[in-house]
Amino acid sequence: MKELVSILFLLLLALLVSISNAKVTKPNVGNFLRCLRYRNSPGIPITEALYTHNNSIFASSYFSYTNNKRYANPNNTNLIAIVAAKHESHVQATVVCAKSYGVQLRIRSGGHDFEGLSYNSYVPFVILDMHNLRSITVDVSKKKAWVQAGANLGELNTKIAEANKTLAFAAGVCPSVGVGGHISGGGYGNLIRKHGISVDHVVDAKLVDTNGNILNRATMGEDLFWAIRGGGSASFGVILAYKINLVKIPEILTVFKVNKTLEQGGTDVLYKWQLVASKLPEELFLRAMPQITFGESGEKTITVKFYAQFLGRAEKLMAIINKSLPELELKREDCYEMSWLNTMTFWMNYPVGTPASVLLNKVAGPPGLFYKCKSDYVKKPIPKEGIEKMWKTMLKFNNAFMEWNPYGGVMDRIPTNATAFPHRKGNLFKIQYFALWPDANATDTHLGLMKELYDVAEPYVSSNPREAFLNYRDLDIGSNPSGETSVKEAKIYGSKYFLGNLKRLMETKTKYDPDNFFKNEQSIPPVHVMYNFFNNEQSIPPLRAM
Ligand SMILES: Cc1cc2nc3c(=O)[nH]c(=O)nc-3n(C[C@H](O)[C@H](O)[C@H](O)COP(=O)(O)OP(=O)(O)OC[C@H]3O[C@@H](n4cnc5c(N)ncnc54)[C@H](O)[C@@H]3O)c2cc1C
Ligand SMILES: *[C@@H]1O[C@H](CO)[C@@H](O)[C@H](O)[C@H]1NC(C)=O
Ligand SMILES: *[C@@H]1O[C@H](CO)[C@@H](O)[C@H](O)[C@H]1NC(C)=O
Ligand SMILES: *[C@@H]1O[C@H](CO)[C@@H](O)[C@H](O)[C@H]1NC(C)=O
Ligand SMILES: *[C@@H]1O[C@H](CO)[C@@H](O)[C@H](O)[C@H]1NC(C)=O
Ligand SMILES: *[C@@H]1O[C@H](CO)[C@@H](O)[C@H](O)[C@H]1NC(C)=O
Ligand SMILES: *[C@@H]1O[C@H](CO)[C@@H](O)[C@H](O)[C@H]1NC(C)=O
Ligand SMILES: *[C@@H]1O[C@H](CO)[C@@H](O)[C@H](O)[C@H]1NC(C)=O
């Protein structure tokens, strides 16, 4: 019996080695570009969408959707070309040619990936830029919309509001964030407590698969459709468009911002906030945002800013806060009533009264700042001593903030496996840690400080695994080299991003992209026959080691 198993093992090993050898394709840049240029595309020739370093607008094309200065480098010699697709066939051609000639694909919609995975790689790669594919069609009577991946949230929110002021999409507020990355990572926003997150409202999708075919929900099947709702679509295909459900909102909403510095008792108010924020009426989203600020004479402190979005009028909001968090000392004049679209500008810190057209402003040119983000989920209140320890580290930064985003409401009622996004019941709030700096020479110091802050928070946040939010991508929690995928490593970051949903994501990946063409440093790995056979991938070296 034992002998039989080892013979089987050797046979499988031989099979696997031969398969994996057959798959190793040395990148062939010349053939890749020829393949693109000579593929027929109906309508617009792909050459009108193709930029190489020789092109005079290569750098500006690269920079126009490149958000983090840490990773912005148009001179990266691994970057072969940018295909700014003008037609769906350009997307198909890029997938087919990149796969045939061993070129890695990096898909970019809004370019807001915190770790630059959509525009950076350390092996030869092509950027498939979706920004020209940005049309939006709203069907008011059906409360639905189709939105192409290259549109951003500012355009989407504007289009919906133009069609009907009482409809909205449950997603983030930052207008320049791209729909393609945002939705597929589980985008959340200030409707989260009442309506959940963006993936809860996706009803169909158009995707280019690893063979270059265009699939929709009916043709891709429910496993793949499940995976691209929160599992990060970049592991599975190129999203061309999502069909989304719109939710009803009132014509008038209320917002406020209230500050409490540490000297004004900010820590106590924040402590109390933890006890109530996830239990407030679902119509109310109350974010706490501790931020480094400087007083009049330049002294550094932390100001805890409380931002509220309420699906209702000011009087009612006043009454709720008076009852649940009177420590805020909210005044009527802090509250502003306005339309949904105008609340977007309020959240973006424009002065009240700024026309909503600012949401359509284009951000051009190279990014100005270096930054780093990390995330945590909190399931029980952090004691005051814990908060104070976090302040001590935070005060070592000059420009940093946290967002404490409340959960509860409908998030407690949506099953963990309803979509690939798993962080649902039992969370009080999610923390985003964010640091920014202007000079490359300060990068190491800041990355070190962010690690320190994350270590200080460890005793107070989720554990086994320490959960993380995919849209707040953080390569520190586990990652692979650009061109390789170890299943063992993938299980480390995968279990933090996807919890128990990782297994189904890996099975889906194996079925739809067995050759692992769609990959990045934190993609979902396929699991090959041997892994399943022995049911323990640690008993043999990972594929790449052979
Ligand atoms: C200023 C700012 C504010 C933010 N606010 C929020 C917020 O309120 N809520 C929230 O949830 N998140 C927020 N985020 C995070 C944001 O949702 C993620 O960074 C998201 O992935 C960005 O999507 P993108 O298309 O702009 O980024 P990209 O960098 O283009 O893409 C991000 C990832 O998705 C992949 N991808 C992009 N397009 C496609 C596609 N068409 N098909 C398949 N894969 C694709 C990329 O390859 C990459 O892996 C914010 C980020 C920033 C920088
Ligand atoms: C760029 O131009 C040079 C000469 O002008 C040419 O040799 C080279 O092949 C071009 N490269 C690409 C990627 O088109
Ligand atoms: C890229 O190279 C060009 C030309 O050598 C140079 O002017 C530019 O500063 C470089 N850009 C970056 C981001 O290094
Ligand atoms: C907006 O949609 C609502 C239903 O959600 C409908 O009652 C109302 O008439 C619509 N308004 C316009 C201007 O279409
Ligand atoms: C809150 O603090 C910020 C500075 O961090 C300041 O710009 C703003 O005016 C303050 N708001 C109020 C209401 O005090
Ligand atoms: C809060 O409610 C109490 C009792 O209803 C009332 O006396 C008080 O004035 C209210 N405070 C504010 C700030 O509205
Ligand atoms: C989620 O898990 C439950 C229990 O295992 C199962 O009945 C249900 O079908 C699953 N839902 C989805 C969408 O996979
Ligand atoms: C980094 O460079 C800036 C000038 O660009 C300088 O002011 C600063 O002191 C430098 N910081 C460090 C840590 O070297």
pLDDT tens digits, 336-349? 999 999 999 999 99
Asked whether the predicted pLDDT for residue 196 surpasses 50, the reply is: yes
What DSSP line would sit under 217-244, residue for residue? HHHH-HHHHHHTTTS-GGGT-EEEEEEE
Confidence band of 7 (pLDDT split at 50, 70, 90): low
With bands split at pLDDT 50, 70 and 90, how would you rate the model's confidence at 17? very low
Using CB distances shorter than 6 Å, the residues near ligand 4 are 140, 164, 166-167, 248
Joined tokens for residue 76:
């990266």
Domains, the chain, with CATH or none = 29-129 (3.30.43.10), 136-248 (3.30.465.10), 253-339+364-460 (3.40.462.20), 481-511+518-538 (no CATH)
Which residue out of 305, 330, 336 has the highest number of ligand 5 atoms within 8 Å of its CB and is therefore the one to mutate?
305
Taking the C-alpha atoms of residue 40 and residue 295, their distance in angstroms, rounded to an integer, is 62
Of the chain, the percentage scoring pLDDT greater than 70 comes to 92
Instruction: Output DSSP code: residue 49.
Output: G
Separation of 440 CA from ligand 8 center, angstroms? Answer: 9
Q: Which residues of 182-196 are buried (b: 16+ CB within 10 A; e: fewer)?
A: bbbbbbbbbbbbbbb
Res 126: pLDDT: 98
Ligand 2 centroid – CA 159 distance (Å) = 42
Which one of the ligands is nearest to 439 CA? 8
Query: Over the stretch 456-466, which tens digit does the pLDDT of each residue have?
Result: 999 999 999 99
pLDDT above 70 (res 3): no
Tell me the average pLDDT of the chain: 93
Interval between CA 342 and ligand 4 midpoint (Å): 19
Beta strands in 68-141 (DSSP E): 79-84, 104-108, 125-129, 136-139
Task: Considering every ligand atom shown, identify the ligand nearest to the alpha carbon of residue 69 and give its number.
Answer: 3
Going from the Cα of 322 to the center of ligand 6, the distance in angstroms, rounded, reads 6
**Range 449-471 average pLDDT:** 98
Protein residue with least CA distance to atom 10, ligand 2: 54
Name the packing angle between helices 340-347 and 153-163 (round to 10°).
Answer: 160
Going from the Cα of 259 to the center of ligand 5, the distance in angstroms, rounded, reads 6
Percent of the chain with pLDDT over 90: 90
| pLDDT score, position 545 | 30
Q: At what angle do helices 384-394 and 266-276 cross, to 10 degrees?
A: 120
Query: CA–CA separation, 135 vs 147, rounded Å?
Result: 6
Measured CA distances, 437 to 430, 431, 446 (Å): 23, 20, 8
Determine the Cα–Cα distance for residues 208 and 139; give it in Å rounded to an integer. 24
475 forms bridges with which residues in the sheet?
Answer: none
Which ligand sits nearest to residue 82's alpha carbon? 2
User: Which residues have CB under 8 Å from 334's CB, separation 6+?
Assistant: 256, 257, 258
pLDDT of residue 26: 81
How many angstroms separate the alpha carbon of residue 338 from the centre of ligand 5? 20
Q: Which amino acid is at 192?
A: I
Q: Atom 5 in ligand 2: which residue has the minimum CA distance?
A: 54
Q: Which protein residue's CA is at the shortest distance from atom 10 of ligand 3?
A: 75
* Contact by Cβ (8 Å): 422, 229: no
Cα distances (angstroms) measured from residue 338 to each of 171, 253, 310: 19, 5, 10
User: Which ligand is closest in space to the CA of residue 331?
Assistant: 6
**Angstrom distance (rounded) from CA 267 to CA 290:** 9
Smallest CA-to-CA distance from 146 within 131, 135, 154, 155 is with: 135
Torsion angles phi and psi, residue 435, rounded to 5:
-130, 145
- Residue 39 pLDDT exceeds 70: yes
Which of 85-99, 131-145, 152-166, 355-369 is the least confident region? 355-369
Choose one of 166, 169, 247, 251 to mutate for the ligand 4 pocket test, by most ligand atoms within 8 angstroms of C-beta: 166
Ligand 6 atom nearest 329 alpha carbon: 13
Question: Is 252 near ligand 8, meaning CB less than 6 Å away?
Answer: no
B/e letters for 287-326, b = 16+ CB within 10 Å, e = fewer, are bbbbbbbeeeeeeebbbbbbbbbbbbebeebbebbeebbe
pLDDT value at residue 542: 36
Residue type, 52: T
Contacts of 296-299 with C-beta under 8 Å, sequence gap 24+, read none
Mutate to test the pocket of ligand 8, among 397, 398, 441, 446 (most ligand atoms within 8 A of CB): 441
Structure tokens at 241: 């468009």
Handedness of CA 441, 443, 444, 450 (dihedral sign): positive
Measure 403 CA to ligand 8 centroid, in angstroms. Answer: 28
**Cα 229 from Cα 198, distance rounded (Å):** 8
Predicted local distance difference test score (pLDDT) of residue 18: 41
Residues contacting ligand 5 via CB (< 6 Å)? 257, 259, 293, 303, 305
pLDDT of 4 reads: 58
pLDDT of residue 1: 54
Q: Model pTM? A: 0.92
Q: Is the CB of 539 under 6 A from ligand 2?
A: no
- Residue of 199, 222, 417, 505 to mutate, ligand 7, most atoms within 8 A of C-beta: 417
Q: Which two tokens stand for residue 253?
A: 């909403």
CA 207 to centroid of ligand 1, rounded, Å: 17
Q: Do residues 494 and 507 lie in contact, with contact meaning Cβ atoms separated by under 8 Å?
A: no
Tell whether the torsion through CA atoms of 186, 350, 272 and 267 is positive or negative. Answer: positive
Task: Report the alpha-carbon distance of residue 218 to residue 226 in Å, rounded.
Answer: 12
Q: Which three-class secondary structure state does DSSP give residue 438? A: coil
Q: How far apart are CA 507 and CA 513, in angstroms?
A: 10
b/e map 166-177, b = 16+ CB within 10 Å:
ebbbbbbbbbbb
Nearest bound ligand to the CA of residue 417: 7
The pLDDT score that the predictor gives to residue 132 is 97
Token look-up 């993938």 returns: 490
Reported for 259-262, long-range contacts at CB under 8 A and 24+ positions apart, including other chains, are 259/303, 259/304, 259/305, 259/306, 260/303, 260/304, 260/306, 260/328, 261/293, 261/301, 261/302, 261/303, 261/304, 262/301, 262/302, 262/303, 262/304, 262/391
Query: Which runs of E-coded beta strand occur in 172-283?
Result: 202-208, 214-215, 238-245, 247-248, 253-261
Give the ligand with the smallest distance to the CA of 60. 3
What distance in Å separates the CA atoms of residue 470 and residue 365, rounded to the nearest whole number?
A: 27
Tell me if the bond preceding 465 is cis, omega within 30° of 0. Answer: yes
- Residues with Cβ < 8 Å from 394, sequence gap 6 or more? 290, 292, 302, 400, 402, 453
Q: How far is CA 1 from the centre of its chain?
A: 49
Angle 237-239-245 from CA coordinates, rounded to 5°: 135
Q: Does residue 530 surpass a pLDDT of 80?
A: no
Closest-CA residue to 61 (of 48, 44, 70, 78)? 48
Considering every ligand atom shown, identify the ligand nearest to the alpha carbon of residue 321 and give its number: 6
Cα-to-centroid distance, 37 and ligand 2 (Å): 14
Q: What beta strand segments (E) does 379-440 contain?
A: 400-406, 429-437
pLDDT grade for 423, boundaries at 50, 70 and 90? very high
Mutate to test the pocket of ligand 1, among 104, 113, 121, 207 (most ligand atoms within 8 A of CB): 113
| Whether the Cβ atoms of residue 217 and residue 228 lie closer than 8 Å to each other | no
Per-residue model confidence as pLDDT tens digits over 238-260? 999 999 999 999 999 999 999 99
